[in-house]
Structure 1
Amino acid sequence: MAFSRALSALVLALPLLSVSALRTKRALCPDGVNSAVNQACCALFPVVADLTENLFDNECGDAAHGALRLVFHDAIGISPTLGGGGADGSIFTFSTTELTFHANIGIDDVLDQVGPFITKYADVLSPGDFIQLAGAVSLTQCPGAPRIPFVMGRPQPIAASPPGLVPEPFDNITSILQRFGEVGFSPAEVVAVVGGSHSVAGADDIVPNQQGVPFDQTPSLFDTQIFVDVLLRGTNFTDGQGAQQGESETAVAGTVRLQSDGLLARDPRTACTWQSFVNQQSQLSTAFGQGVTKLSLLGQTASKLVDCSEVIPKAIAFTGGAATLPPGQTLQDIQASCPTAAFPKLATQPGPATTVSPIPQATDS
């Protein structure tokens, strides 16, 4: 569709904009410390520093995970038929409406953390711009995650997103792919965005009375472990409505698997892409970065946005190792679903098995 082609062309053009910027004369910012190609970007350096120090605490923790989640829940709220502003910040401005949507369960906690910063810098950034900036900076807190472009100039949101546009963990695979497809995402891009984001994420409120339950064994690393853990037999499984199945057969104690992840890993339309990311760190980082950039532009007019990618900190190099099997597990415990490629060989972690700790919450003392 034309909408999809336009998005793809824009995403491809953004890296070129950054390269061109590097070849342009830089000017010293009013703070006397930073410099920028575009003076409009100078105002963002203190915002980024504040986010890094005082929201994210210089770590890939609960606040960083939440900021990334907010990017998705705000941006996906657009439809060619139902309307919505996409990446416009409506989830903040019209929170009294959008937080009533079942798909946005737990977003109130994220806005409790991020909201005061959006208000603090309201004279510098629109809500849509701030959410995307915070998401880009959050990724630079997580080793292995990509450094993505950031563009500024999104207008103020004018209305709440229509309900039913955010895919939910218990949706069937056809519904999930159709929803993403409406806004120009291929099945392969869905796997990259969903799998990559869940590599540094945890469940809040989905599992009853539990917060920060990781989706894989390494929630503070952007890595490919999730593409292994989700395929293990007996992994803790939740339908997204509070009910858990297979509680006594948890393959990785302390983690939870969403139904949507399990389906993406096993459905014929997406299984081979899911498997292809196992121990392909660079491939995942690139595909995920392109997908999140695409999300950040939904509903926006590219020609009216200013490229301020230069304010985003450098990515942290990947510090982890290869994806592995939990103690006592073998490849026989993997439910491989790709018929055209053998599952990669994996080492098994030495025993005994341990329980993955919950992600510390930002409000913890």
Structure 2
Amino acid sequence: MSLALYTLFVAAVPNADNAVRCGAGRFAAHSECCNWFDVLDDVQETLFEGRCDDEARESIRIQFHDAISYSKGLGSAGRYLHSLSVDGSILSHADLELTYAENTGLDNIVWAQRALAVKHGVSFGDFITFAGAVGLSNCHDAPRLRFFAGRQNSTAPAPDGLVPAPWHSVDRILARMADAGFSPEETIALLAAHSVATQHTIDPMADGAALDSTPESFDNRFFTEVCPGCQVVERLMNPHDRQMLLDSSERAPANDTVKGVVDSPFRDQLRLQSDYLMARDERTAPTWQSLSRDTSQMSSRFVEAMAKLSMLGQDPSTLVDCSDVIPQRDRN
């Protein structure tokens, strides 16, 4: 995305003086957004029940999985040109993409979202982005995410293997994110989503385990609890010492059977290996520590990173700003 288009995207603020009445005391900046209030009511009633629940969390997860199939490398090579964007391909081609290992556990939310998108006649890419923003809004202290409508449906499935996994190295994760256009700082900002996350598939024996102590609140405890007084793994330190520290930080639980998990000092929490390592790597630790100290900064940088994520492969000038449909949660 060019700087000019990105500035156009993030700078637009609905003008209340020119708002369109959508009925039931609701207003939007554009008439094209009014139908999204009907979608909002249905999503909140039938999918989320107005709660920061598993469906809300899975909606945030599916938004990332759909978007991160964007690849500058594959696109420039002329491969997958029709599937590398936030286009809802995981809903359009659910029969195939749900067979990808990276999408394990997303079956229920995929089929539920697909049915609602078809019911309301909206594109799959728009619905995924909208549901992610609405789901997050149900969580305590969550920021309001931007939502633009007007994406076209995918004409081809996304390629397999583009979603970072918890057992991937920091090098591999940062390379994949850079290929999608994200810096190490933006990558850490996106991880703020783990503040409201739980897991069901990485370690089935810890089904429902949260990634921090407050999974219904969007706060910085994820950053502080993953890395309490952590030691940064310097890339330029003595190679032997660095490897020793990496080896010790990559250890699995005592049973040695759970891939991508390290020991957590907190009861009823699961600690992802990738989170543990990025909290300590010199390329990502400064941002991690900064967000652990400042919840306001964490929220603002997450909103910016999610805005960028939601526009991968899209031309913002062809979309309509419907952000005012997303609920605004009162923040204490």
For this structure pair, what is the TM-score category when the shorter chain's length is used for normalisation? 0.7 to 0.9
Distance apart, 1:242 and its partner CA: 5.9
Please list, as runs of the form range in 1=range in 2, the aligned pairs for 1:167-316 lying within 5 A after superposition. 167-194=164-191, 196-232=192-228, 243=258, 250-316=264-330
Match for 2:54 among 57, 62, 66?
62
Please list, as runs of the form range in 1=range in 2, the aligned pairs for 1:41-190 lying within 5 A after superposition. 41-82=33-74, 83=80, 84-121=83-120, 123=121, 125-190=122-187
Aligned partner of residue 292 in structure 2, secondary structure: coil
Does structure 2 conserve the Cα–Cα contact (< 8 Å) formed by 1:85 and 1:159? no
Distance apart, 1:270 and its partner CA: 0.4
Inter-CA distance 92–144: structure 2 relative to 1 (3 Å threshold) = same
Distance apart, 1:11 and its partner CA: 3.9
Does structure 2 conserve the Cα–Cα contact (< 8 Å) formed by 1:238 and 1:256? no
Counterpart CA distance in 2 for 1:183 and 1:93 is 21
Aligned partner of residue 18 in structure 2, secondary structure: coil
1:175 corresponds to which letter in structure 2?
A: R
Counterpart CA distance in 2 for 1:102 and 1:246 is 17
Aligned length: 305
Superposition TM-score, scaled by structure 2 size: 0.85
The answer to which of 185-194 and 44-53 deviates more is 44-53
Does structure 2 conserve the Cα–Cα contact (< 8 Å) formed by 1:236 and 1:256? no
Cα deviations across residues 225-244 of structure 1 (Å, max 9, x unaligned)?
Answer: 111221258999769x9616
Aligned partner of residue 149 in structure 1, secondary structure: coil
Counterpart CA distance in 2 for 1:39 and 1:274 is 40
Does structure 1 conserve the Cα–Cα contact (< 8 Å) formed by 2:167 and 2:260? no
Aligned partner of residue 35 in structure 1, secondary structure: strand
1:139 corresponds to which letter in structure 2?
A: L
Counterpart CA distance in 2 for 1:235 and 1:113 is 38
Aligned partner of residue 60 in structure 2, secondary structure: helix
2:189 corresponds to which letter in structure 1?
A: A
| Larger relative contact order, structure 1 or 2 (CA cutoff 8 Å, min sep 6) | 2
Does structure 1 conserve the Cα–Cα contact (< 8 Å) formed by 2:52 and 2:135? yes
Counterpart CA distance in 2 for 1:23 and 1:155 is 28
Inter-CA distance 175–245: structure 2 relative to 1 (3 Å threshold) = closer
Does structure 2 conserve the Cα–Cα contact (< 8 Å) formed by 1:237 and 1:245? no
The answer to which of 198-207 and 103-112 deviates more is 103-112
Counterpart CA distance in 2 for 1:78 and 1:16 is 24
Inter-CA distance 235–57: structure 2 relative to 1 (3 Å threshold) = farther
Q: CA RMSD in A?
A: 2.4
Counterpart CA distance in 1 for 2:272 and 2:260 is 11
Superposition TM-score, scaled by structure 1 size: 0.78
Q: Provide structure 2 residue ranges, at least 5 long, that are not aligned to the other structure.
A: 75-79, 231-247
Corresponding residue number in structure 1 for 2:25:
33
Q: Provide structure 1 residue ranges, at least 5 long, that are not aligned to the other structure.
A: 319-365
- Structure 1 runs (4+) deviating above 4 angstroms are 232-239, 244-247
Corresponding residue number in structure 2 for 1:362:
none
The answer to which of 77-86 and 274-283 deviates more is 77-86
